[in-house]
């Protein structure tokens, strides 16, 4: 038998790949046209959405296209809690602060949520000012177009002639950056150990009962 030979140069035709790799077995003979999704109807859908928006605006005239006015509330969780968004409806306390009856509010385009409560004075004041600003800008149409005398709060004929429909967002909620105030670091700030203060506060809360009982026992022993 001839002696064994070793290939030290380039790979020859028919030689196996090195190491324990997967054998090349790619499948390229597939019916790929069957799995291709086309999007040729996108321009027609764009036109259909535009027509639907125009039809909705015409059907809801003169009311705003966006719907009822909604409050500004904070998002959930710690990550998004600093941001404001539109909520479900104004609380009864906010309506009372703005001087609006809870039964009249839905009839003039104000969303009401009787389950919502205000946990801070800031949210109550913010949404009360939002309601007052809305009431200054709102135009209330009379219930009867042929009424001889307008009721209190209804718009007159001159205001009705100049009314325009709100097509965008109704009083959008903005997240303005909070102002940041700076000051110089004092000597007391440098000497204060905030970590130690937090640790002492946690210890005081945890050992409050034991320390109180020890003080009472010591006072009873002195007597």
Average pLDDT over residues 4-13: 53
Residue 55 exposure: Cα atoms within 13 Å on the Cβ side: 6
Query: CA geometry: angle at 38 spanning 35 and 43, to 5°?
Result: 165
Average pLDDT over residues 58-83: 93
DSSP 85: E
Average pLDDT over residues 34-63: 93
pLDDT value of position 83: 93
pLDDT value of position 19: 86
Contact by Cβ (8 Å): 109, 68:
yes
Q: Rounded distance, CA 106 to CA 80, Å? A: 29
Contacts of 167 (CB under 8 A, 6+ apart): 57, 64, 65
Q: Which helix (H) or strand (E) holds 74?
A: strand 72-74
Q: What is the pLDDT of residues 107-146, one digit of tens each?
A: 999 999 999 999 999 999 999 999 999 999 888 887 766 6
Backbone angles phi, psi at 182, to 5 degrees: -120, 155
Q: Rounded distance, CA 99 to CA 164, Å? A: 26
pLDDT reading at 212 higher than 90:
yes
Contact by Cβ (8 Å): 65, 56:
yes
Q: Rounded distance, CA 31 to CA 18, Å? A: 33
Average pLDDT over residues 190-202: 93
Contact by Cβ (8 Å): 165, 61:
yes
pTM over 0.85: no
pLDDT value of position 6: 47
Q: Diameter of the chain by CA atoms?
A: 122
Contact by Cβ (8 Å): 70, 88:
yes
């Amino acid at each position: 038998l001839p002696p064994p030979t070793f290939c030290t140069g380039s790979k020859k035709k028919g030689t196996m790949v090195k190491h324990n790799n997967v054998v090349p077995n790619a499948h390229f003979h597939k019916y790929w046209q069957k799995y291709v999704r086309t999007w040729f109807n996108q321009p027609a859908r764009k036109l259909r959405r535009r027509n639907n928006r125009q039809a909705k605006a015409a059907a809801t005239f003169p009311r705003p296209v966006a719907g009822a006015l909604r409050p500004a509330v904070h998002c959930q969780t710690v990550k998004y809690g600093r941001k404001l968004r539109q909520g479900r409806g104004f609380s009864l306390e906010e309506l009372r602060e703005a001087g609006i009856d809870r039964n009249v509010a839905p009839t003039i385009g104000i969303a009401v949520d009787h389950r919502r409560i205000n946990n801070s004075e800031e949210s109550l004041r913010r949404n009360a000012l939002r309601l007052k600003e809305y009431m200054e800008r709102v135009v209330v149409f009379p219930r009867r177009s042929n009424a001889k005398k307008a009721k209190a709060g209804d718009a007159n004929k001159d205001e009705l002639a100049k009314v325009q429909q709100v097509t965008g967002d109704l009083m959008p909620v903005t997240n303005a950056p909070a102002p940041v105030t700076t000051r110089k670091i004092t000597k007391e700030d440098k000497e204060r150990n905030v970590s130690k203060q937090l640790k002492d506060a946690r210890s005081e809360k945890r050992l409050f009962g034991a320390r109180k009982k020890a003080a009472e026992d010591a006072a009873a022993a002195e007597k």
